[in-house]
Structure 1
Amino acid sequence: MDSIWTKTCTIPKRTSLQKDIKTEVAVIGAGMAGILIAYQLQKAGKQVIVLEANRIASGQTRNTTAKITSQHDLKYASLIQTFGIQKAQQYAAANEMAIAEYQRIIEEEGISCHFEQTSAYLYSADKSKLIQEAEAAASLGISAHFINHAKTPIGTISAIQFEHQAQFHPLEFLKNLSEQLEIYEMTPVQTVEDHTLKTPCATITAEHIVFATHYPFINFPGMYFVRMHQERSYVLALENIPPMNGMFIGDGNNKLSFRFYDKYLLLGGGSHRTGDNRYGGKYEVLREKAKELFPDAKEVAHWSAQDCIPADGIPYIGKYSEQKPFWYVATGFQKWGMTSSMVSAMIIKDLIYGKENPYAEVFDPQRFSMEAAEGIAYEMKEATKTLAKRFFKLPETTEKELPVGHGGIVEVDGEKIGVYKEKNGTVHMVDIRCPHLGCQLEWNPDEKSWDCPCHGSRFDFRGHIINNPAQNDITLK
């Protein structure tokens, strides 16, 4: 399931690291955040290397909808209420600055990446919420206003318009920046101890280490595994649709996202907690909606994305832990990875140089709030429930009863096993314990994968790892 970005841009391969090296900064992860952090640090004069377990932009960056926006759902009214006006202003200003910084880099480097300034719209049937949010965003310095009758892809409805936002082709952008950096692909970092990183073929010594791996794979210190969960969402790329101006997202449980790239409309939706696969058929739901809204549309690609959702709704950007002042982290971007990646680059660059960053406080990973405490308690409850399920809930079917072309947890010789039956009759059996922290994996019928409801690790039906924080494949049976 290649995204429209991978179908239209190829980034040249890099070699893996085969010898021990020393560097000032080692960045783990070559997605949008890792590349931007490395680029900003190198431009400022630091010696930087980037270590990537797979290929450049092979993780979540290739699956983004690539909206560069400070419009983050109904965000700013709740930010002011929960964190106060000062921190809410930091959040708003950081994301507005991120948009401007993308434009600056693209113009300075002469990058051709379909960059386009446009407006972002949040639409809803609840006018009162929109008015409150528009007033909150405007009070924080964002050019946002309420529109009573906005023309959107779903019809005329109330909306908030955020002006001076942008969109682009993320891989075309990264292809250019990555050419300027020392990047090693197929070089997974297996362990990190103080200033030492170990990969299968080399040891790296670094003064500073940045974890830009989407979800941190080091559990202690930091304990990010109890401070956020992951969610999945789905996208169709459609053609034969009249062009529209702007980026759109709805409010509510069944919200849809729209934006144009070139001649394609990107229609997104179907968000759910990773591993909660009770309601399959997410792509089919989007296809039915596309048929309803755009009868002449033709699907040219479909794919899915995964997002880290922090306990209090704000990314963790800054020092990884008080115990490791030379480690840094960028995670918890929610659905807004493009601006959050640039915010990460600006904050982490200043931290490494010992400079005060005006936005750093609100994103500080060591922050504490009652909302975060409630979120952490909920995450721990969900993880405990899933762990208990592995031991106490018996499978409802046997391997023989599982239909061809389906997957699920079955009982084999008194043991719970994950099984997928290919249409040709080939049977794949795997351990249903996630190698990260032992939670019970669940079958995802939309993508034929085994997903962890606790922390979001994912594996294909053969047991090969797709998404972290797990670092190893599932054991085969």
Structure 2
Amino acid sequence: MNSIWSESYNIESRMELHDKKEAEVVIIGGGIAGLLTAYMLKDKGIDVVVIDRGRVLKGNTLNTTAKITIQHNIIYDKLINEFGENNAKRYAMANMLALENYEEIISRNNIDCEFEIEDAYVYSLDNPEKIEKEYKAAIKLGIDAELVNEIELPFKIAKAVKFKKQANFNPIKFLNFIAKDLTIYENTRAIDIKNNVVITDKGRIKAKNIVVATHFPIINTPGYYFLRMHQEREYVIAFKNAQVLNGMYIDEKDGGYSFRRYKDYLILGGAAGRTGSNEEGGSYNKLRGLAKKLYPDAVEKYHWSAQDCITSDGIPFIGVYSKEMPNVYVATGFNKWGMTSSMVSAIIISGMITGKEYTFNEIFSPSRFDMTASIKNLAKDGFETTYNFIAQKIRIPMETIDNIKNGEAGIVTYEGSKVGVYKTKEGKAYTVSTKCPHLGCELKWNADDLSWDCPCHGSRFDYKGNLLDSPSIKELKYEK
């Protein structure tokens, strides 16, 4: 299961950390947010080091659909209503600057990454009023937008709003260039931060400033990001012999589909859901079924999935990690719009470290938290966490390993203990603890990705117990 971008990956491997180091800035996390922040700091003459628990860019950055756009589904009408017109305008300004920064960096360095200017559409199948409100909000904020009744996709819509002159690219070709001159330590796992020192499993790095860009923050307190976010997974397939599209498209409904072109491929995404909710699988098959209906001659070439942090109010957390950690910064909660949000993060955090403030910093500040705008989502996240924490404590499975069929998985009782077991198609069994090492919630099987996923905060592990996604920093183990 590789993404369409995997073939473009040619970043040379870097050595792991040894002993003790010092730097002006340490960035934890070698995805797009971490690398862009490091690139911008280095460009300003700052001594910066990046560490990653594995290979850089082998996480969720490798699995993006790579849309660079200020059109973040239905967002601007919501922002105006909940945070006011001025804050909505600041959000738009930040993302406009991010788009301009991509274009400037690519042009100045002549980076061959298939960067293309395209319009971005959000459409509705049955709710034209919702689209009209978003269009009016965009116009009010000075965004170049247009209301349309038809789009290129082969089905009827109620209405769509078009955001003009957005972009897409090959993110790995772009980041191959960004990473080439950076100081990076791979296979170096951050464990803790104490007194301006990043403690890793391979040594320590002392720094004046520290940036946590680990997708989901790995430090629980202070900050308490695990109370303000959950994670969702989305599934993607790249097809040949499908429609060659102009523009990028997304359905305004939760669980809807997105479409974009890359060369002569159609990239179709969707079937999204909260991490830990895909026990039966079938997400890829939903996409295959839609493609067969819309494009009968389409041929699948790649399929992959990605994970996104979803904040309770729909705005990323970018800035100072916590008042108790003034020299530590965070970039997280990109709400499925990681390309622009990563660049916004790099702009804001590199600016804060070098003494440059932007008028839009406050809207992204982690300390902005507004209970009234987020109470519904907070309550839902709180219920999911409580339910799955209690389930790990009290739910006793009735099945045994013998009940699990080859090629399937489940939670069973084995020698008096509750374990998760996966059997390969050949019948070999792999058993793991069902308790997430992060905060103890009960893990759920993901039949499409063959992984054990935490529905509380989104940590993921392969069927052998190896860590796939934060916030956990520990592997998943089962001992007899």
User: TM-score when scaled to structure 1?
Assistant: 0.98
Please list, as runs of the form range in 1=range in 2, the aligned pairs for 1:229-244 lying within 5 A after superposition.
229-244=230-245
Take 1:451 and 1:154, find their aligned partners in 2: how far apart are those partners?
Answer: 35
Aligned partners of 1:201, 1:395: CA distance in 2, in Å?
Answer: 39
Among 375, 398, 402, the alignment partner of 2:404 is 402
Query: Equivalent residue for 1:24?
Result: 24
**1:7 alignment counterpart:** 7
Question: 2:152 aligns to what SS in structure 1?
Answer: strand
Map residues 424-439 of structure 1 onto 2, 5 A cutoff.
424-439=426-441
Q: For residue 288 of structure 1, what is the amino acid of its counterpart? A: G
The aligned runs of 1:94-173 (5 Å cut-off) are 94-125=94-125, 126-155=127-156, 157-173=158-174
- 1:256 aligns with 257
**Cα distance in structure 2, aligned partners of 1:233 and 1:254:** 9
**Do the aligned residues in 2 keep the contact of 1:233 with 1:270 (CA within 8 Å)?**
yes
Post-superposition offset of 1:142: 1.1
Between stretches 199-208 and 26-35, larger displacement belongs to 199-208
CA gap 1:128/1:341 in 2 versus in 1, 3 angstroms = same
Aligned to 2:301: 300
Cα distance in 2, alignment partners of residues 279 and 121 from structure 1: 32
Shift of residue 156 of structure 1? 5.6
Quote the Cα distance in structure 2 between the aligned partners of 1:154 and 1:7.
32
1:199 shift after superposition: 2.0
Whichever residue aligns with residue 392 of structure 1, its letter is I
Verify the 8 A CA contact 1:124 1:159 in the aligned structure 2: yes
Task: Quote the Cα distance in structure 2 between the aligned partners of 1:380 and 1:435.
Answer: 19
- More divergent stretch after superposition (386-395 vs 229-238): 386-395
What root-mean-square deviation, in Å, do the aligned CA atoms of Structure 1 and Structure 2 show?
1.3
User: For this pair of structures, how many residues does the alignment match?
Assistant: 477
CA distance in 2, matches of 1:158, 1:73: 14
Cα contact 1:236–1:267 (8 A) shared by 2: yes
Kindly indicate whether the alpha-carbon contact (under 8 Å) linking 1:150 and 1:157 is maintained by their aligned counterparts in 2: no
- Does residue 246 (structure 1) correspond to residue 221 (structure 2)? The answer is no
- Which stretch shows the higher mean deviation, 203-212 or 396-405? 396-405
Displacement, 1:135? 0.7
State the SS of the aligned residue for 1:150: coil
Residues 183-233 of structure 1 deviation map (CA, whole Å, 9 limit, x = unaligned): 111111122112111222221110000001100000000000111000000
Deviation at 1:127, TM superposition (A): 0.9
Matches of residues 183-194 of structure 1 in structure 2 within 5 Å? 183-194=184-195
CA distance in 2, matches of 1:254, 1:190: 35
The corresponding residue for 2:89 is 89
- Provide the secondary structure at the position in 1 that maps to 2:226: helix
Q: 2-side partners of 1:242 and 1:286: how far apart?
A: 15
Letter matched to residue 120 of structure 1: A
CA distance in 2, matches of 1:435, 1:473: 8
Residue identity in the other structure for 1:199 = T
Identity score, percent: 46
Return the alpha-carbon distance in structure 1 between the equivalents of residues 257 and 145 of structure 2.
Answer: 20
Letter in 2 for 1:284: N
- Evaluate the alpha carbon distance shift between residue 10 and residue 157 of structure 1 in structure 2; reply closer, same or farther with a 3 A threshold: farther
- In the alignment, structure 1 segments of 5+ residues that lack a partner are none
Q: CA deviation at 1:379?
A: 2.0
Range 335-344 or range 190-199, more displaced: 190-199
Secondary structure of the residue aligned to 2:273 is strand
**Equivalent residue runs for 1:199-210 within 5 Å:** 199-210=200-211
- Indicate if the aligned counterparts of 2:232 and 2:272 stay in contact, CA closer than 8 A: yes
Amino acid paired to 2:234: S
User: In the alignment, is the contact (CA less than 8 A) between 1:151 and 1:157 conserved in 2?
Assistant: no
Do the aligned partners of 1:281 and 1:446 also contact (CA within 8 Å) in 2? yes
Write the distance in 2 (CA, Å) between the matches of 1:379 and 1:423. Answer: 35
Given that residues 135 and 145 in structure 1 are in contact (C-alpha distance below 8 angstroms), is that contact kept between their aligned partners in structure 2? no
Cα contact 2:150–2:156 (8 A) shared by 1: no
Following the alignment from structure 2 to structure 1, what is the Cα–Cα distance between the partners of residues 404 and 437?
Answer: 25
Quote the offset at 1:150 in angstroms. Answer: 2.6
| Residue 380 of structure 1, CA deviation | 2.3
